[in-house]
Amino acid sequence: MAGRKHPQPKKAQAILKKVDRLFSAIESAEPLNRPAKYAARKPEFEELVFDYFALRPDERVLVQELATYAGPSLQPGSLSYEMLVKSMRRPPARDQIDRYCQRLVQVLTEWRDATGGKGELSAVAWTARSVPLGGVIVTISESKPRKAMVSRLEDDRVVAELLSTVATAIDGSPEQMLTVPDVIVVKDDRITIVKPLVTRFWLERAAIEDASKLAAEIKAIRRTKRPL
């Protein structure tokens, strides 16, 4: 019945049949082996659910992040220290930082294309080791630079550089400081995003929000500079 109410009934029925086959394969296993069987096939179940609801790739990422990080934060699985320290508050893993940078560039590039802009965009992360502080350096150039910037992870020397960038912006033009929750400084062809080294600020969801707000802020600044 559920498939018949779907906008694409045939597609929905085909997906539901695949789900039934997966469940049948798991149920046919020995009871003690079923949890492991389900864990192995879980990604397939997730993709089928995403297909059923016709979620776009970026929407799938947001749902997966919600399940991975928000779920355990709302309801810990046990009273152990590891479970009680909410995953959203932990320092981000390196692959999470990489995904943030990639998503940030992707969304900014989409904004560039939608507004008829030109140039190359890149982003690298700087993070400290002993201080929970990090930054993302977005570089805008007319063409692909010969020597790309590199990430600097777990390097305490970046703290002084990030704080110096913020201090310089405070003493300079107000337009260098943008009104986004993180501290964002724009100077020449570089945008520096300074943020706490906490997972919730480095999710791909955060990258999408940061890029959208950043693009809107820059657009507003350019609009005010246009001659009347």
Residue ranges of alpha helices (H) inside 115-203 are: 157-171
Is pLDDT at 87 greater than 70 in this prediction? yes
In this structure, are 11 and 109 located in the same domain?
no
Number of structural domains, the chain?
A: 3
CA atoms within 13 A on the CB side of 14: 5
Least confident of 32-41, 78-87, 130-139: 78-87
In this structure, are 48 and 62 located in the same domain?
no
In this structure, are 190 and 86 located in the same domain?
no
What count of other Cβ atoms lies within 10 Å of the Cβ of residue 61?
18
In this structure, are 17 and 31 located in the same domain?
yes
Q: Any idea what DSSP says for residue 174?
A: G
Q: Write out the two tokens for 89.
A: 């508050």
- Mean pLDDT over 12-30 rounds to 92
Task: Let me know: does 135 contact 126? Beta carbons within 8 Å.
Answer: yes
Average pLDDT along the chain: 82
| 141 or 194, greater pLDDT | 194
In this structure, are 72 and 127 located in the same domain?
no
In this structure, are 161 and 218 located in the same domain?
yes
In this structure, are 99 and 81 located in the same domain?
no
pLDDT at residue 157, as a whole number: 93
d(CA 183, CA 195): 7
pLDDT at residue 84, as a whole number: 47
d(CA 42, CA 126): 34
d(CA 71, CA 58): 19
Q: How confident is the model at residue 186 (pLDDT cuts 50, 70, 90)?
A: confident
Q: Put the strands of the sheet holding 190-196 in their side by side order.
A: 120-127, 133-141, 190-196, 183-187, 177-179
- Nearest Cα neighbor of 138 from 166, 97, 101, 164 is 101
Domain that residue 64 falls in: 58-90
In this structure, are 187 and 81 located in the same domain?
no
- Nearest Cα neighbor of 90 from 60, 105, 68 is 68
The percent of residues above 70 in pLDDT, for the chain, comes to 82
In this structure, are 74 and 136 located in the same domain?
no
Which tens digit of pLDDT belongs to each residue from 124-149?
A: 999 999 989 999 999 988 777 777 78
In this structure, are 84 and 112 located in the same domain?
no
| 19 or 216, greater pLDDT | 19
- Nearest Cα neighbor of 86 from 3, 169, 200, 217 is 200
> CA separation (Å) from 161 to 32, 156, 175, 177, 207?
55, 10, 20, 16, 22
In this structure, are 116 and 190 located in the same domain?
yes
- Mean pLDDT over 191-201 rounds to 90
In this structure, are 68 and 181 located in the same domain?
no
Q: How confident is the model at residue 59 (pLDDT cuts 50, 70, 90)?
A: confident
pLDDT at residue 177, as a whole number: 47
Is pLDDT at 181 greater than 70 in this prediction? no
pLDDT at residue 200, as a whole number: 87
Is pLDDT at 228 greater than 50 in this prediction? no
